[in-house]
Structure 1
Amino acid sequence: MDNDAYGHVNNVVYYSFFDTAVNRWLIERGLLDIAGSEAIGLVVETQCRYASPITFPDRVTAGIRVVHLGRSSVRYELALFRNDDEAPAATGHFVHVYVDRGSRTSVAIPDTVRRALETLRVAPAPTLPTSTG
């Protein structure tokens, strides 16, 4: 997953960075046992906007916040920062829907997970007025 033919990390790797950042955050807090959690979050939507290239061996840091926390779903917004850059190389979102591991039917986000996700929750950015004229 090093540089592709165009000399930068391929775009699909950015999605891997998003997935790794979210799951690492959950695992480090004891909220996800990949092999044993009864309720698991499945990715149902993801999106990425690219601003500048990441190139191996750049150091990549991810910022995570929660902008929506529903009964069974959570929408994360993420930013990927290259080395010490202040502007993100990429931004995007990632939506988990919580399901029962065995049946894959929707379940409520477990209370312990919900409480932890609340610590990442921010209000959505205000919508700017549009000009009609």
Structure 2
Amino acid sequence: MADKPQARKRNAYPHFLPIPTRWMDNDVYGHVNNVVYYSYFDTVVNGYLIDRGVLDAERSQTIGLVVQTQCDYFAPLAFPQQVDAGLRVAKLGSSSVRYEIGLFAAGAETPAAQGHFVHVYVDRDTRRPAALPEPLRAALALLVD
């Protein structure tokens, strides 16, 4: 069995987005279902990119495709809690980015879950890897650990 993952504290993440949980996020066990955590990952990453003006989902010529995801769970979250989604960039390549996300109960110092996903940026039409456009690279550089 792999070593137990170490939870990163709140101060490891330079950007946060508050995300309200929804009634439908809970499963029959009374907590947020594991698949919903990945939706929170998408929300904090794409929200950051849209807010910085470096992602136009309908028109950007360079788009990010998820090629890897992973999540470790430490404690449950449940409706009606607010989730503070922390975001950082662990690796910024020429055409790929490894985002790391911590999901915290509002105000908590230790995450309820943390994980990552990797975007490979590609040309929208050809789906071939493409260099990160400079405005995107600059926005992501602000999150590099």
* TM superposition outliers: structure 1 runs of 4+ over 4 Å: none
| Letter of the 1:92 counterpart | G
Pairwise CA distance, 1:83: 2.0
Q: Deviations over 1:68-119 (max 9, x none)?
A: 1111000011100112221100011111000011111110011110011111
Unaligned 5+ residue runs, structure 1? 123-133
TM-score (norm 1): 0.89
What SS does the aligned partner of 2:25 have? coil
| Letter of the 1:117 counterpart | L
Alpha-carbon distance in structure 2 between the residues aligned to 1:54 and 1:83: 10
Equivalent residue runs for 1:106-117 within 5 Å: 106-117=129-140
- Residue 80 of structure 2 is aligned to residue 57 of structure 1: yes
Q: Deviations over 1:30-63 (max 9, x none)?
A: 0000111000011111100000001011101111
Unaligned 5+ residue runs, structure 2? 1-23
- Residue 123 of structure 2 is aligned to residue 100 of structure 1: yes
Pairwise CA distance, 1:7: 0.6
**Greater C-alpha radius of gyration:** 1
Q: CA RMSD in A?
A: 0.8
What SS does the aligned partner of 1:45 have? strand
- Residue 93 of structure 2 is aligned to residue 70 of structure 1: yes
Equivalent residues, number: 122
Alpha-carbon distance in structure 2 between the residues aligned to 1:61 and 1:104: 33
Alpha-carbon distance in structure 1 between the residues aligned to 2:25 and 2:119: 27
Q: More relative contact order in 1 or in 2 (CA 8 Å, sep 6+)?
A: 2
